[in-house]
Amino acid sequence: MILAGFTLLIACSKEMSKEGTGFPTCDYAPYTTGSSFSYIDVGQKQDTTSYTLTVSGDTTIGGTTYKKVRDDSVFFCSNCKDGIYTQIASLLTFQGYKADNVPLTYLKETVPQGSSWQDTVNVSNGTVTTKAILQHTIVQKGFTKTVNGKDYPDVIAVKLDASTILLDNAVPVGTVSTSYYAKGIGLIEADQTQDTIKLVSYIIKP
């Protein structure tokens, strides 16, 4: 399976926006300039690394303004309008297949629990190209989750499953991750195939 075991590397998407109806307020990605989010990444062998992502300001790509959220190795931004959150992600596989940066809808704040939606990406290895389907599902909403001893209310959990298209048929690869987003904070945990990312602390600037 060409997508088995791939690593999800967050790249960049449009700047967060609260335009539209005024509700919801897009509080599940509060990336204001000067805010910072510290995480630990725990591997399967319990090896742990720490890093802090900081919102460092704006950048313009192709005439569009982006928020820069980064450390030395991670760079991502998030767009939100009317409760729909998008990003651009690079998908890499251990077999050498990769996808160009593509827009993904990683969260829909207002849809009910059990709702699903899909993104389709092209993956290639040299001259070999095929498609992958990424399915996002709201598996739980409005609950309290404890991460590193701290309780976070109003959490939304999103499961990401992947399939590849082989001979015009979708072949399931499996669950890539389950991500947890807390209102007013953003990502607090991501349970992935090879590791788990957990929020340790955060500072959100007005």
Complete DSSP assignment for 138-189? EEEEEEEEEETTEEEEEEEEEEEEEEEEETTEEEEEEEEEEEEEETTTEEEE
CATH 1.50.10 fits domain 7-203: no
pLDDT band at 127 (very low <50, low <70, confident <90, very high): confident
The whole-number average pLDDT for the span 136-163 is 96
Residue type at position 14: K
The predicted-structure confidence for 25-34, as pLDDT tens digits, reads as follows 789 988 889 9
CB neighbour list of residue 13: distance below 8 Å, 6 or more residues apart? 66, 76, 77, 78, 79, 86, 87, 88, 103
Assess whether pLDDT exceeds 80 at residue 147: yes
Query: Quick check: 160 and 171 in contact, CB under 8 A?
Result: no
End-to-end, the C-alpha distance of the chain in Å comes to 45
Tokens of 45: 């062998």
Distance of alpha carbon 69 from alpha carbon 54, whole angstroms: 5
The whole-number average pLDDT for the span 56-65 is 65
- Residue 21 has a pLDDT of 39
Radius of gyration of the chain (CA): 17
Positive/negative CA dihedral, 54, 56, 60, 65: positive
Q: Looking at 39-48, 64-73, 174-183, which range is the least confident one? A: 64-73
Question: What's the distance, CA 55 to chain centroid?
Answer: 16
- 147: nearest Cα among 104, 196, 192, 114: 196
- Residue 64 has a pLDDT of 52
